[in-house]
Structure 1
Amino acid sequence: MKGKIYLLPSPLSEQNISVIPEHSKTIAQQIDIFLAENERSCRRYLRKIGIMTEFDENNMRVLDKKSTDEMLLDYIALAKSGSNLGVVSEAGCPCVADPGGRFVRFAHKENLIVKPLVGPSSILLALMASGFSGQRFAFHGYLNVKKDRRKKDIGKLEFQSKRFGQTQIFMETPYRNLHLFEDILEVCSNETQLCLAVDLTDVEERIQTLSISEWKKREIPSINKKPTIFLIQA
């Protein structure tokens, strides 16, 4: 019998393991081999949810953006031989702004059963709390790292939001958050709404929605090196 592919969410904050439902923890006990974006943090997480086995190459492998097709096919072969595999992201839901999506495509091609488990998604939590449209929205992942191209991207997203009534959601590597924030204030019109969702599910969680003109009047928010989701609605 073929094994299954489980998509096991991880906490957004290591300090708040309670966001992982008991059902997901129970299913995790049935997983034979974990495919981890980061092995070290994955081991810490799994021990916190009660999986106390000794981890080695027999029950944990790397699945990140550098994983080759050959590696993914090796993992598929393990599932086809009967092992249950668990894809674990560095934080949040696997395969969303995460390299696990490539592996899942391979799994579907081989007619393997893929089962997503319940857990925290920073994208949906931010959208829920933003006050913006939850009927029409688009997630764009990371914008361009080059300032000029990033500013053009922001302008396009604001235009799309205004034209289609669509919430635009994106993110940045935490140490570049302030650069992105400054570009948004420079590019977007004063009436456009910007939501910052910072440290979601952590004890220091902060979510605030203001117009661009209001953000310009305030002190620079404390978002440097903090996981942040950016949302705009024009």
Structure 2
Amino acid sequence: MSTGTLYLIPNTLGDGDEAALAYVLPAPVRERAGTLASYIGENAKTTRAFLKRVGTTRPIQEIEIHELNVNTPAGEIDKLLKPLLGGIDTGLVSEAGVPAVADPGALLVRRAHERGIKVVPLVGPSSILLALMASGLNGQSFAFHGYLPVDANERIKKLRELEQTSRKAKQTQIFIETPYRNKSMLDTLLSTCAPSTLVCVAADLTLPTETILSRAVSDWKKKPTPDLHKRPAIFLLLAH
């Protein structure tokens, strides 16, 4: 028996109606997502909510949904591949944005390749790339670092390292923060980095409240900072 195909299904970057869904997910992606009988998601409840918004060709309760998140032991990955190995096409969906990028699905995709399962990525929004596109910073060389240290001193140390790397390699440095700590992150950025370092903050990407600001640190300090509290945001810096 041939194996099924693992489809990497993008999600929206925030809540919205069908019009918002159509804005960020092409019709062929929505159609494919609606036909699959098997899904792997970070949370079964939110995966069902996504499928309800997309629209499915079968009752949602008949769709098999398995969870893969940061608490899933590595040894459980192969169990998640069983439907695929049995010939059933399966979707991997993230809570927001594209699967397997800043997302626990990467190990599943790797194992799928190792087991000879076809992997098909579908088009959708990536907050990391959208922020880079809109930043005006170097899009030829960049690095994504995920979350920076929570400890204040360690965070400052890490930011100085990133700024030094950026200056030496002329490379954009990209990272994220837990939404309720966004203000603290921006304040630390502006107090740590050199006046000439470019800093971009992109919040609520693709949503009606989208905010994208890109300025030198010295200019950030001259203007009011946006309210970023509990808003999903991407931070970027480029040192000269």
TM-score range, shorter chain: over 0.9
1:170 equivalenced with 2:175 (yes/no): yes
Per the alignment, residue 195 of structure 2 pairs with: 190
- 1:91 CA displacement: 0.2
Per the alignment, residue 70 of structure 1 pairs with: 75
- 1:30 CA displacement: 3.4
Secondary structure of 2:35's match?
coil
Per the alignment, residue 85 of structure 1 pairs with: 90
1:209 equivalenced with 2:214 (yes/no): yes
Per the alignment, residue 11 of structure 1 pairs with: 12
AA aligned opposite 1:125: L
Secondary structure of 1:210's match?
strand
Number of residues of Structure 1 aligned to a counterpart in Structure 2: 233
1:30 & 1:72 partners in 2: Cα distance? 23
Secondary structure of 2:214's match?
strand
Question: Structure 1, unaligned stretches of length 5 or more?
Answer: none
Higher alpha-carbon deviation: 71-80 or 86-95: 71-80
1:115 equivalenced with 2:120 (yes/no): yes
AA aligned opposite 2:60: E
Per the alignment, residue 163 of structure 2 pairs with: 158
1:5 & 1:48 partners in 2: Cα distance? 21
CA contact (8 A) 1:30 1:84 kept: no
1:161 & 1:8 partners in 2: Cα distance? 32
2:186 & 2:72 partners in 1: Cα distance? 32
1:97 equivalenced with 2:63 (yes/no): no
Alpha-carbon deviations, 1:40-71, whole Å to 9, x = none?
Answer: 22211111111262336x61111111112332
CA contact (8 A) 1:3 1:85 kept: yes
Report the RMSD for the aligned CA atoms in angstroms.
1.3
- 1:225 CA displacement: 0.5
Scaled by the length of structure 1, the TM-score of the pair is: 0.96
Secondary structure of 1:26's match?
helix
